[in-house]
Amino acid sequence: MTKGGDSPPFFILVIFALVMKFIYNSPELWTATLCVLAYLLGSIPSSVWLGRRFFGKDVRDYGSRNAGATNTFRVLGKPTGTIVLILDILKGYLATSLVYLLLFNEAIVLDSYQTVNWMLGFGFCAVIGHLLPIFAQFKGGKGIATLGGMLFALNLQVASIALAIFIAVLLLTRFVSLGSILAGISIPVLFVSIFGANYPAYRQLTVVLFTIIIAMLVVYTHRKNIRRLIQGNENKAKLLPKHRRID
């Protein structure tokens, strides 16, 4: 027996079960619930929470004042930055994979085209959650890592090539922002022109428009970085020993 207050009252659990059953029995409510869940997953501000809990810092008060993994590396160090990067990628991957919970509802039947569309939708909700997190005063990161997780859930090949582009640009220029921008711009090309021939679902209008919007969103969220790149004062990543010098 548990003491009062140690666990939720039984009637609360019963009400919760009844509400979930009601939602599950309505395809519309089930779909809306999963969209909200995808947004909430994206809203988890791992960099802010870890910074406050273990360092007494809010990463948004330092460096680029951004809640993304790049600024976390800069402000809190590589170990914490790595954790945040993995968690941000995982957010996008899990949110996009919510499509399988959508299919869990027997009343919902999707073909391959609709499945891709819902994966895009859930992933987009997670990216918006990362940009505008409800758990962190709607001040988040730029969504690149979360977008990467979404891509890995959608198509491993596209995600791997986009990642390779990012890494190549980073190693050649040491600009994280430039790597992110070029990788983002490559997404519509990869989905539509290259893989669209083998996967017709990737050539549908919704995918074309969505990937273009994603590319534009990546550019927009990096507008300050673009300005600094043009002015020649963008921060460079110090990842390799031979580059550890003062610029």
CA distance 39 to 161: 26
The pLDDT assigned to 104 comes to 80
Structural domain boundaries, residue 176 = 155-247
The angle subtended at Cα 127 by Cα 123 and Cα 130, nearest 5°, is: 140
The pLDDT assigned to 3 comes to 53
pTM reported for the whole predicted model: 0.80
Each residue of 205-214: pLDDT tens digit? 888 888 898 8
Each residue of 172-187: pLDDT tens digit? 999 989 999 999 999 8
Residues 175 and 146 in one domain: no
Looking at 131, 150, 169, which one is the last position of a domain? 150
Residues 107 and 84 in one domain: yes
pLDDT tier at 243, thresholds 50, 70, 90: very low
Residues 208 and 143 in one domain: no
Residue 10: CB atoms within 10 A of its CB come to 8
What's the structural domain count of the chain?
2
The pLDDT assigned to 121 comes to 92
The pLDDT assigned to 95 comes to 96
Each residue of 120-168: pLDDT tens digit? 999 999 999 999 999 999 999 888 899 999 999 988 888 899 999 999 9
The pLDDT assigned to 98 comes to 94
The pLDDT assigned to 246 comes to 42
The pLDDT assigned to 231 comes to 92
CA distance 95 to 228: 33
Domain membership of residue 5 (yes or no) is: no
The pLDDT assigned to 36 comes to 94
Burial status of residue 99 (CB atoms within 10 A of its CB: 0-12, 13-18, 19 or more): buried
Q: Which stretch of DSSP H or E encloses residue 13?
A: helix 10-24
Domain membership of residue 164 (yes or no) is: yes
| DSSP-H helix ranges across 132-155 | 144-154
Residues 133 and 82 in one domain: yes
pLDDT tier at 1, thresholds 50, 70, 90: very low
Spatial CB neighbours of 145, under 8 Å, sequence gap ≥ 6: 68, 69, 85, 88, 89, 92
The pLDDT assigned to 6 comes to 55
CA atoms within 13 A on the CB side of 107: 9
Domain membership of residue 194 (yes or no) is: yes
